[in-house]
């Protein structure tokens, strides 16, 4: 595995860790991370403690301060990736008898120079 690919995985894992902490602070219980399904992986499966709704969360991370990067993390979620993610989420919910769920995305901008992260949580559907 090349250094560039390894760095990419490290950035992704950092973003997922930040997203988990963010969700916990917002009142979510982290049920599972990196759940593998036939159609692909689910970054985070969480449950809103107030509503009981399961949130399947895709995390997208980019390096650089928000507004300073040319690419938004959400631009990394292609239509093909979204379709694959939806199939994996449906399968996961069927296998785990989950009725109330939604698909979310947490966007993470990692500003390594200033050792900060900016986070945005939004519902996909």
Please name the helix (run of DSSP H) or strand (run of DSSP E) that holds residue 33, with its range, or none: strand 28-37
Question: In what helix (H) or strand (E) does residue 32 lie, and over which residues does it extend?
Answer: strand 28-37
**Which CATH number fits the domain that encloses residue 79?**
3.40.1350.10
The torsion angles phi and psi of 62, rounded to 5 degrees, stand at -130, 155
Supply the mean pLDDT for the chain: 87
Segments in 3-42 forming alpha helices (H): 3-25
Q: How does pLDDT run across 8-59, given as a tens digit for each residue?
A: 778 889 999 999 999 999 999 999 999 987 778 999 999 999 999 999 999 9
Domain span holding position 10: 3-123
Q: 26 — phi, psi (to 5°)? A: -95, 5
Q: Distance between CA atoms of 101 and 82, rounded to whole angstroms?
A: 16
Prediction pTM value: 0.87
Domain count, the chain: 1
């Amino acid at each position: 595995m090349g250094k560039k690919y390894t760095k990419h995985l490290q950035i992704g894992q950092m973003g997922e860790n930040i997203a988990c902490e963010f969700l916990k602070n917002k009142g979510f219980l982290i049920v599972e991370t990196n759940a593998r399904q036939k159609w692909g992986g689910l970054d985070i499966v969480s449950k809103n403690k107030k509503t009981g709704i399961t949130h399947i969360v895709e995390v997208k991370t980019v390096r650089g301060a928000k507004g300073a990067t040319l690419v938004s993390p959400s631009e990394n979620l292609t239509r093909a990736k979204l379709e694959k993610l939806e199939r994996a989420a449906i399968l996961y919910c069927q296998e785990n008898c989950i009725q109330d769920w939604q698909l979310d995305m947490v966007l993470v901008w990692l500003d390594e120079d200033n050792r900060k992260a900016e986070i945005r949580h939004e519902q996909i559907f």
